[in-house]
Structure 1
């Protein structure tokens, strides 16, 4: 597919053999990884030719390099940290502050914390933020034990986008591609574990047409168990989920079509037996995840880095969702108050092709004595924020 969707159009990297790359890198930089902090400190001193220094000299050197030297004599002690009411410039730095206790006394850190608190409150309320970092307490729980040594594994950052639809042959018919979540995974994780971590509203319920709102919605729930078929297309390989005997092979008709069109030779593999460190993806290149028949997600490998001491060192916590898109409930089109529970399509009483309604508004506007008013299609709607 790279002959059709050129990698240069996405500014993606070359195919990376990440396992061998990071193994070679960790051997080149053994000083950074492993051992106790005191052993590392001694190696650093030896590397810098400072092992002949006395403790007095090292203390004097540490005092000379202290962050307290960053404060000017003329700097006021009572530097204001109040946030101006009309301040609109936003920092692109991360919410987290990987600083020492001494650094938290700096006025710049205090100001940034105050600014971020103000922006977080406003963005939660008005929804102006693209994604929200999840608060994750790494290495702090007594229920888990650190079993990963820094430098012995690597982390993939994988971006998942919301499903989209488009009509071929119609200009501007495709929906805008929207970020959904970011997943961090180890190189030793299975591809099926990544797929299981993806949250999609299509897995909550089956979208089937019904006659009225009095149907039992429980029969439409658990779509993921009812239809377990899914596949991921990465670098010419369809990684199918074959864990369930009821799963269908989504790749078969696509491979047949590609063979007839002379597009390329695609292969098939099982996602539940494929480790991430055996893949050679392009960083930044779009790949496809398909489930629930025609629910398609774009996913990209956005970053790959060697695991560090300040990362989560508990393998049981991977893969994990580290950020999600800020989204709101889909409210009823008529009342604008209640969450939507029904999807109405092709209704001659609405100017839109599809609308979302709550149960009360749907019954009062589209039904009289339990009979339909006009022609329309009615489907149960499962909102991911309500389900």
Structure 2
């Protein structure tokens, strides 16, 4: 370690004072003594002034650690840790066929939840949406691979009443919105990258481009194919918000937060990218009847339930809304409920199973 004159003295964190605040202990403990501020320095240097204010809050505000933790940038991110070395994905294997490092770049992209602009309210309250996923991509990959890796609850929804015979095994065979409405585009630097792989896909950008041609102040807008463009073809700005639109009006803000060269500690199999590096910490929806099991169905028009759209589990649905012969008691409608958090967890588990199967075949 390099040192200079009059540098702060190193301290052992384990010997420092332990401050309990809920589930967090010594969350702001550092390797240096940050509580020593020279006299009068707080009025000359802005960083020391902010540091003095931070130390004052630590000593005076009760449960300050928990309150401060909620303001951190990535406090709501759940890292997809699988390996014992705290890596987001298993990187090395005993018999690795990929001995040479991939000559490529790795992009870190954060996908926000759908953005809904509230134009009907008098006071502006359009806060920036929270993030949903954090992915690692290769620069040589096409934009369609990012589009297929995005998980949105509007894509997974099934708009079909199956109250006649609701069975859990049917949910994987029913066509969801992503199958019926496969259209979508990325809007990056004045260019619409449309997803035209499906023959029934609509080109959403056609109407926007025609509208922009009648307004010269907007400038020229172009359209390109999503499956013919890689990330290396783009001129991206880190931290700048771009737009992904699908399902007609479901808008997601995507932000590229980091770019670096691929190194030997990264996942060496290019087929496993995009990698799910993190997701938002979101509580799953429980059954409104038993409050024990996770919800599997959305029940509408049930007069005995206190809300018009009730989330219920499969057991409560069969015992409360149907009789012993499997006939519904009232004229209700039943729709499958897809839990977004559980879907992301399932996708991560499938990725880990792929790794285990590959290791078994090699051994």
The SS at the match of 2:254 is strand
Higher RCO by CA contacts (8 Å cutoff, separation 6 or greater): 1
Counterpart of 2:197? 243
Q: Which residues of 2 match residues 258-269 of structure 1 at below 5 A?
A: 258-259=212-213, 263-269=218-224
Counterpart of 1:199? 151
Q: Is the 8 A contact 1:330 1:356 kept in 2?
A: yes
Shift in Å, 1:360: 4.9
Partners of 1:340 and 1:168 in 2: how far apart? Answer: 32
The SS at the match of 1:203 is helix
Counterpart of 1:36? none
Show CA shifts across 1:67-126 (max 9, x none): xxxxx9xx99xx779x87655342699xxxxxxxxxxxxxxxxxxxxxxxxxxxxxxxxx
Shift in Å, 1:248: 1.8
Corresponding residue to 1:329 among 258, 267, 284: 284
Aligned residues: 282
Give the unaligned 5+ runs of structure 1: 1-63, 66-71, 94-127
Per the alignment, do residues 286 and 349 of structure 1 end up closer, same or farther by CA in structure 2, a change over 3 Å counting?
Answer: farther
> Given the alignment of the two structures, is residue 90 of structure 1 paired with residue 27 of structure 2, yes or no?
yes
Counterpart of 2:183? 229
The SS at the match of 2:140 is coil
Q: Is the 8 A contact 1:162 1:177 kept in 2?
A: yes
Counterpart of 1:338? 293
Q: Is the 8 A contact 2:104 2:262 kept in 1?
A: yes
Show CA shifts across 1:296-326 (max 9, x none): 3221111122334544444333322222223
Q: Is the 8 A contact 1:164 1:175 kept in 2?
A: no
Shift in Å, 1:153: 3.1
Q: Is the 8 A contact 1:289 1:299 kept in 2?
A: yes
The SS at the match of 1:220 is coil
Q: Is the 8 A contact 1:236 1:265 kept in 2?
A: yes
Partners of 1:371 and 1:241 in 2: how far apart? Answer: 44
> Given the alignment of the two structures, is residue 182 of structure 1 paired with residue 182 of structure 2, yes or no?
no
Partners of 1:332 and 1:371 in 2: how far apart? Answer: 19
Partners of 1:296 and 1:179 in 2: how far apart? Answer: 13
Counterpart of 1:379? 335
Partners of 1:343 and 1:175 in 2: how far apart? Answer: 28
Per the alignment, do residues 328 and 141 of structure 1 end up closer, same or farther by CA in structure 2, a change over 3 Å counting?
Answer: farther
Question: Which of the two has higher C-alpha Rg?
Answer: 1
Q: Is the 8 A contact 2:296 2:338 kept in 1?
A: yes
Counterpart of 2:206? 252
For normalisation by structure 1, the TM-score amounts to: 0.58
Per the alignment, do residues 182 and 364 of structure 1 end up closer, same or farther by CA in structure 2, a change over 3 Å counting?
Answer: same
Partners of 1:173 and 1:221 in 2: how far apart? Answer: 35
Counterpart of 1:118? none
Partners of 2:219 and 2:287 in 1: how far apart? Answer: 46
Counterpart of 1:162? 113
> Given the alignment of the two structures, is residue 133 of structure 1 paired with residue 79 of structure 2, yes or no?
yes
Counterpart of 1:145? 98
Show CA shifts across 1:196-253 (max 9, x none): 2223333334234555664754553454344322211112211111222222212223
Show CA shifts across 1:22-54 (max 9, x none): xxxxxxxxxxxxxxxxxxxxxxxxxxxxxxxxx
Q: Is the 8 A contact 2:159 2:176 kept in 1?
A: no
Counterpart of 1:319? 274
Counterpart of 2:250? 295
For normalisation by structure 2, the TM-score amounts to: 0.61
RMSD: 4.3
Counterpart of 2:235? 280
Per the alignment, do residues 358 and 193 of structure 1 end up closer, same or farther by CA in structure 2, a change over 3 Å counting?
Answer: same
Per the alignment, do residues 213 and 187 of structure 1 end up closer, same or farther by CA in structure 2, a change over 3 Å counting?
Answer: same
Partners of 1:316 and 1:331 in 2: how far apart? Answer: 36
Partners of 1:275 and 1:229 in 2: how far apart? Answer: 19
Shift in Å, 1:273: 0.8
